Every structure is written in structure tokens, then in C-alpha cells.
Amino acid sequence: MPKVSICIPTYNNLEAFKKCLDSVLMQTYTDYEVVVTDDSSNGEIKNYLNENSNRENIFYFKNKKTLGSPENWNEAIRKSKGEYIKILHHDDWFTHENSLEIFVQLLDKNPISAIAFVASKNINLENNMIINYNRPSKEKIEEIKNNPVTLLNGNFIGAPSATIFRKNNFSIFDSNTIWFVDIDFYIQILLQNNNLIFSEIDAISIGASPTQITKSVESNKTINIVEHFYLLNKWGIKKIITSPIEQTTYSLIKKFKIKNTQDIRKLGFKDSLPTDINKLFKKIFFSNLKEKLKSTIRTIVFPNKK
């Protein structure tokens, strides 16, 4: 049985997959298997592996039907045999030759930890330029450990490719989510075991492009609002006011111009809402009113100022 299962859920984009796989094959740590679950609409990835790889530790599975994200991720993990799970999305890649070793040592040296992550480098795939680094502070990591739900205020762990976790602690990626799927997954694990381990080495590179799912949904009102309240209900958050995620909820409602609970219901959300949600609507109402009054006063006092 291999120590690590490198799970690569794929969907088309052969060139990205080649780069991803090449970064795996150059690793100095070799006690691994590669599990590829293919959601592609064509046979390019399958044909490439048939023609270019005869390695016994690479296992390819073409999904009988399109599973979509994140169920394709779950399928790769289900097919795995390793003690450790290393998700590696097909448009991400290991930054260094010893990246996998860095990941493995994080769990080897911290046997009570269920999940670990590394700093990640976000790369614009169109021009190959570095967008930014995800390298949270010690204070932010402690905040996550003390209250995993605060990840809703910002995904400071990063994409699943930045993590490694033990298979015996595997919680499935929730197929009811798209935008918050990774956050929800981390919270599921950390609520059971909050021994979160981090390395400041940028052992993973995350490819970013306009065609990715995250880019298409980050401004989608329905997905953002419904998933936000779905997760609040799932995590048992009954009250928003004075909670660690009050400001995030406030900003989200204001951003998408949600005026009342009926607006949330119209988007398709059917579960319980926080008991004090109407208080938050009132705060937003008076905040908007205050902004309008300030704007009106400025117009009166400075009529010629643009």
C-alpha cells in the first residue's frame, strides 16, 4: 500500500494536466500512487496516459457519467489506497522537486494532526505571472484552530491542492456546495481535530484562469447567498449578531442587495435562517440610509463638485 495517494480529478485541459503530472513524476519522494478520475468530455487525457505512461503506480478511471465538481474529487479519494490523501487539481502543480516530501513530513512529524497545508503561490495561467502568495500569519492560523467556522471570513488555508490529510479522517466534499466547498471540507475536519499544521514553504502552485469554476461563481448571487446560509445552518450557527462572521454576512447581504428573508427564500433557500437575521437587515437599512443622507448633504453643500 502506498503512503500517499495523489488524487488528480480532471476535466479536459490536457496541457494543464501534462504540467501537473510532470510535476508529480519529478518528485524525490516516491512512495505514492496517482489516481486520475476523468470527467472530460473527450478522450485526450486517457489517450495521453495510454501513449506516454506505463507506470504501475498511475491508475486512470473514466467516470461513467459526468460527476462534476466536487463529486469528481470524492471519486478520486474513494479509488485511493494511500494512508495520506494529496489532492492535486489538474491545473495546479508541485512547485519544487521535494514538494511531496514537504507535505508528507508535515503529517509524519505531527501524528495527532488530521490535516496540514503549505503556503501556495497563485499563478495567472494566461501570462504565467505570480498573482499573490497565500501565507497566513500565525495569529490567523490560531484563530482558525480556535474557531474553524471563521474560515468563512476568508479561506486562509487555500485551495485543496495546498493540503494533505489522512484518509481515515476523510470527510466528503459536500456536493451541495460549489463556492464554499473547500471551506466546508476544512471545517468538517477541524471541528473534529483542530491540530492544523502549516509550512511556510510554497510547495504548491495554483493555476488561476477566467475559465475556472471559482471565477464563474464568485459574483453569482444565488450561489453565494444560498451556500452561505446553507453552511450556517449546517454548522448550527443560530445567531449572527456579535458572532465572528457577522461582518462577512453583513457584507454579503449588502453586496447582493438582499433586503429581507423573502429575498433569500426566492433564491431557493429552504432551511432555517439565523434567529436574529432581521436585526442584521435593520443594520444594513440604516447604514444605507446614512450613506444616502451623506451623499445628499454633499450634493447640497458642494453642488459643483463631482
Confidence (pLDDT) at 213: 60
Written out in words, the top-level CATH class of the domain with range 4-214 is alpha beta
Per-residue pLDDT tens over the stretch 279-295:
999 999 888 787 777 77
Q: Which residues of the chain have pLDDT under 50?
A: none
- At 52 the pLDDT is 84
Predicted confidence at residue 254, as pLDDT, reads 92
| Domain segments of the chain as ranges | 4-214, 219-301
**Letter string b/e over residues 47-85, b meaning 16 or more CB atoms within 10 A of that residue's CB:** eebeeeeeeeebbbeebeeebebbbbbbbbbebbebbbb
Residue with cell 497563485: 122
Instruction: Identify the pLDDT of residue 214.
Output: 61
Q: Residue 261 contacts by C-beta under 8 Å, 6 or more apart in sequence? A: 273, 277, 278, 281
Burial of 272 per CB tally in 10 Å (0-12, 13-18, 19+): exposed
Q: What is each CA distance from 293 to 13, 253, 257, 303, in whole angstroms? A: 51, 21, 18, 15
Amino acid 300: pLDDT: 73
pLDDT for residue 150: 94
- For residue 211, the model assigns a pLDDT of 56
